[in-house]
Chains A and B, each alone.
Chain A
């Protein structure tokens, strides 16, 4: 009922771990898989080791989180050890990568493929790292070039994660024409000021807003792109409950990724959402989650 296939990859359920959340080490990803994730996306990995920004890197709000981790990662060479452990983990492993140039993306994608990643997810959307992510992902020409070159150099599916910090996300989605699937949305560029300290809270000043408050934005992005682009969409942004997930499916997502909700609901959220979405499908006479993908467009 919940199993899905995207780009010939089989997922036991459509609830995947989002990049950046509890996915720096294989052991933690294994644990999330045990809790019922249908697939995992790794932390975004770059060419070289990065420690990330100085604390504070996260700010809790009643309606979400602002984070500026600063793309911490051990570097692609060292990450091979974690990827090796994830072989035979039972669900697809999507290697997230970030580069500053097309060549870097190509190199990282090939590495991930060699490590056994089932797909790569191009981080063209992180809103808080200079020279990376969104700084590239707002430019349709760069997006088209990077996706095109990566696609030519690997045989595994290429997913492209898009930023909502653009005037028209449909334009960027179309620029990523060669991608096998689109992942949307990354966080919204944001900040917070502490009025007693009279200064920005995050050491990087700017961060990315995630959590319940961004769901309507993500939903709108998925809905708009589904109308215009004929390829699988993975919905991300504020999925905290089975109703949130169903909204994304109805807007046109074939799967969703879950991240921030783990902070408030714990890793058990995966099994809970699977159970509750399956219940809803049964109650409404559906045989498969596939049957509700995009139904809101009827």
Chain B
């Protein structure tokens, strides 16, 4: 059954990303997600990007549902169910957090919960960088594919540089899957614990329909956050996903 929440505030974060603030008395862990229904349009999974008195979804326009959500304004309503899934396990050790694109939305509440974390915020270009000013007490590194701001290149390349300079007890990541795969490989090779939040085409959100599974792991119920032991078993990671019919397609 859905809860109906009122949008209290809308913020344009980047040309393609908006944040929606709302009040809801659920108590999610960083990394958990909700199913958001826009009646008459679509229902889709959305991770929580702030967990305070005002909660927040940070949404990139990618399909009909998210496009409809981008048209909503303060005072409009969202239908939500959740929170669902397994979030991040926090650590007290020095952590490196690597977010690409809207992956930063999923990571933001985690970063605020970590005592000692360095952050890589990555995007294709300067305009699409998300939350660069949101973590004043953390060491924030910027990477852009086109070099328009910060490190020029992939987030994984910058992550490798930082990991070889400082001893991190945990790496957290979320973003495009090729980036996640590269970072997981770096961590597995150096035996550094890593947690990654994955994304798949999701239908039920509650672990019964198999549409979001990756090598038998249900992203909605066993994840979306997985640790190195599980990630190492995922031969499909970064290579294969399933379309809405369940057909395997190349990423």
Interface flags for B239-251 (1: CB within 8 Å of A; 0: not) read: 0001111111000
Q: Shortest CB–CB separation between residue A57 and chain B, in angstroms?
A: 5
Cβ of B210: which chain A residues have Cβ within 8 Å of it?
21-25, 28, 43
Q: A156–B79 Cα gap in the complex (Å)?
A: 47
Tell whether, in the assembled complex, residue A25 and residue B246 are in contact, meaning their CB atoms are under 8 Å apart.
yes
Q: Do residues B216 and A51 form an inter-chain contact, with CB atoms below 8 A?
A: no
Closest residue on chain B to residue A65 by CB atoms: B208
Which residues 46-60 of A sit at the B interface, judged by CB distance below 8 A? Answer: 49-52, 54-60
Chain B residue nearest to A18 (CB atoms) is B208
Give the shortest distance, in Å, between B100 (CB) and chain A (any CB): 25
Q: Are A24 and B40 within 8 A (Cβ)?
A: no
A197-B244 contact, Cβ under 8 Å, with A28-B210, A28-B213: no
Q: Are A199 and B79 in touch, CB under 8 angstroms?
A: no
A227 smallest CB distance to B (angstroms): 32
Chain B 10-41 residues near chain A, CB threshold 8 A: 35, 37, 39-40
Enumerate chain A residues within 8 angstroms of B77, measured Cβ to Cβ.
196
* Residue of A61, A65, A201 ringed by the most chain B CB atoms within 10 A: A201
Answer yes or no: A260 CB below 8 A from chain B CBs.
yes
Q: Which of B91-99, B108-116, B198-206 contacts A (4 or more CB under 8 A)?
A: B198-206
Q: Which of A58, A69, A73 contacts B205 (CB 8 A)?
A: A58
A55 touches B40 (CB 8 A): no
* Chain B 180-212 per-residue mask, 1 if CB under 8 angstroms from chain A, else 0: 000000000000000000000001111111110
Interface of A is mostly: loop
A22–B246 touching, CB < 8 Å: no
Given A60-B1, A259-B208, A262-B208, A24:B43 Cβ within 8 A: no
A49: chain B residues at CB < 8 Å are 245, 247
Q: Are B79 and A75 in contact (CB under 8 A)?
A: no
Number of A residues, CB within 8 Å of B:
42
Residues of A near B39 (CB, < 8 A) are: 194, 197, 199
Residue of A nearest to B77 (CB): A196
On whether A262 and B203 interact (CB within 8 A), knowing A22-B218, A74-B246, A196-B79, the answer reads no
**In the complex, which residues of chain B have a beta carbon less than 8 angstroms from the beta carbon of A194?**
2, 39, 79
Contact B79 A54 (CB under 8 A): no
Instruction: Report Cα–Cα, A151/B23, bound state, in Å.
Output: 58
Q: Let me know if A149 is at the binding interface, CB within 8 A.
A: no
Q: How far is the CA of A31 from the CA of B230 in the complex (A)?
A: 13
Partner of B79, one of A51, A65, A81, A197: A197
A103 interfacial contact with B, CB 8 Å:
no
- Decide if B1 touches A52 in the complex (CB within 8 Å): no
Is B73 on the interface with A (CB-CB < 8 A)?
Answer: no
Q: Does A123 contact B (CB under 8 A)?
A: no
Quote the shortest CB–CB distance from A27 to chain B (angstroms).
Answer: 4
Assembly CA distance A81 to B248 (angstroms): 10
**A263 interface residue, CB < 8 Å from B?**
yes
B43: chain A residues at CB < 8 Å are 55-56
Interface centre among B2, B44, B243, B248 (most CB of A within 10 A): B2
- Cα-based distance from A52 to B4 in the complex (angstroms): 26
Cβ-based interface call for B76 (8 A): no
- A69 with B245: CB separation less than 8 A: no
B42, B207, B211: which contacts A263 (Cβ < 8 A)? B207
Can you offer 23 A-B residue contacts whose CB atoms are under 8 A? A21-B209, A22-B209, A22-B218, A24-B242, A24-B246, A25-B216, A28-B218, A43-B210, A49-B247, A52-B245, A55-B37, A55-B43, A56-B35, A59-B1, A65-B208, A69-B203, A74-B246, A74-B248, A75-B247, A194-B79, A197-B79, A259-B208, A263-B207
The 4 closest A-B pairs by CB, nearest first: A27-B216, A51-B244, A55-B43, A74-B247
